[in-house]
Amino acid sequence: MMPIIRCIKNYKIRQYLVPDISSGVTVAIMPIPQGIAYGVLAGLSPTYGAFAIISLMIAKALDGIPLDWVIANSNYNASDSNFSNMSSSVNATADEILAQKTDLATTLAFFVELIQANYEKFHLWVIRVGFITSYMSEPFISGFNTGAAIQVFSNQVPPFFGVDSARDIQGAFKLPRFYVRVIGSIFREINWVTTAVGAASMVFMYVVKRLNERCKAKVRILIPTELIVVIIGALVSYHLKLNEKDNVAILGTMECGLPKPKFPGFNQSSSLFRSSILIDIVSLSLSITVAKMFGQKHGYRELFAYGISNMIASCFHCFPNATSLSRSTVQDSSGGKTILVGGFTSIIVLIVILALEPLFKPLPNTVLAAIIILNLKGLLFQVKDFKYYYRIDRLEAAVWIITCGTIVLFDVDIGLYVGIGISFLINTIRTQNPSFAILGRVGDTEFYKNIKRFPTVKG
């Protein structure tokens, strides 16, 4: 019996309905602006990021993913799913290129589902890369997250200041060359109105989020910071005509209504399969703690359900998604009682998207950039971890700096391969040359210490 049917059959309306709706509202107001921002980050229509929330939450409810495990758009998955440079025809129109990007994104999401849904049975399908997670040490994950966050942050600098995006820069030392061009563009052609709007949005969100953190113990429903910023930004842009008068870049035309379900195509499946493996490994590294915790608790059904959710999303023009620890925490503390919270969240998100869709069109891109940058704060601050690892173990610090540095200087996929390779090499060296010590008893106590470091102990 499907979990959703079992839940409805045993549902106690008086006890569960109000808490589930309240939890659904709390969870729904968080991801809408982020979904739109990540849709833009992936090079797709902004609405597809929001539709991803709906399809994923429905899948969550249908497949019985635990209440406190929320699947969501992630900065890196959106960034790695970017298809801005993938168009099959030089003379294609903008609509045709967007359609090509959407087809690629949905196919990629489908492949990600295949690997994730078969994780338990096939150990990440045919290639058996499940063992790779054993080498995802804390320094590797921290260094990887920091490097990926720097990459995503860098992509948001041009729209934040209203300058050229410099997306055509590829190859080795891409990021340093990117910043040389972008900094030059900022000095020559910075849009001060765009920058002011982005800065004001970021300051407002930062202040209100700090207030939310202080009040979350007393207030169950927190202030929807990002949604407020999106609405205010769109209204100000519309009434002051920022796009026409000050050349502020805006979202512009958005697709109206729900997308028609469409099974993914497989025209470029061979080129996308490599990316799907990369995103699967990255998704696990970003949420490995959550996946392990709920896998042990529920017999690893969550990885299967996680994959199924991406398959459903792929039929609605969505890009691959990952778990969100922040939203999982919010849902865990919001008082939801059953898996129907996902259904209520989907309904609320759908109503908001359809009702406010015209309002999003004049939204400045710098507001979305501010949302993404602020949500990267926690990952960017992980740069402090290097000092900690350097103090306790220089080999672990080497894993951190090599992984992060390779991502910054080259690219995320190269950093992933190099980081896992270095972790494997260090583990092999430690296995072949294990440290050992002869212990001696300290007097008549039950304590033992190294006789080389403490010659007075009894051998």
- Domain-wise residue ranges, the chain: 3-142+153-379
Q: Which residues contact 161 (CB under 8 A, 6 or more apart)?
A: 185, 186, 190, 191, 194, 195, 198, 366
Residue 299 falls in which region: left (phi positive, over 0), alpha (psi -120 to 50) or beta: left
Residues 127 and 119: their CA atoms lie apart, in Å, by 11
pTM comes to: 0.71
Phi, psi of 116 (to 5 degrees): -70, -45
Among 37-41, 119-123, 329-333, 382-386, whose mean pLDDT is lowest? 119-123
Which helix (DSSP H) or strand (DSSP E) does residue 204 occupy? helix 192-215
Residues 385 and 378: their CA atoms lie apart, in Å, by 12
134-175 tens-digit pLDDT: 667 788 888 888 888 898 889 889 999 999 877 777 778 888
Number of Cβ atoms within 10 Å of the Cβ of 296: 10
For 86, 320, 355, 373, the CA distances from 39, given in Å and listed in that order, are 16, 11, 19, 15
47-82 tens-digit pLDDT: 666 666 666 666 666 555 544 434 444 444 444 444
Residues 212 and 223: their CA atoms lie apart, in Å, by 7
For 73, 129, 263, 323, the CA distances from 326, given in Å and listed in that order, are 12, 27, 31, 9
DSSP state of 253: -
Q: In the structure encoding, which two tokens stand for residue 141, read together?
A: 């994950």
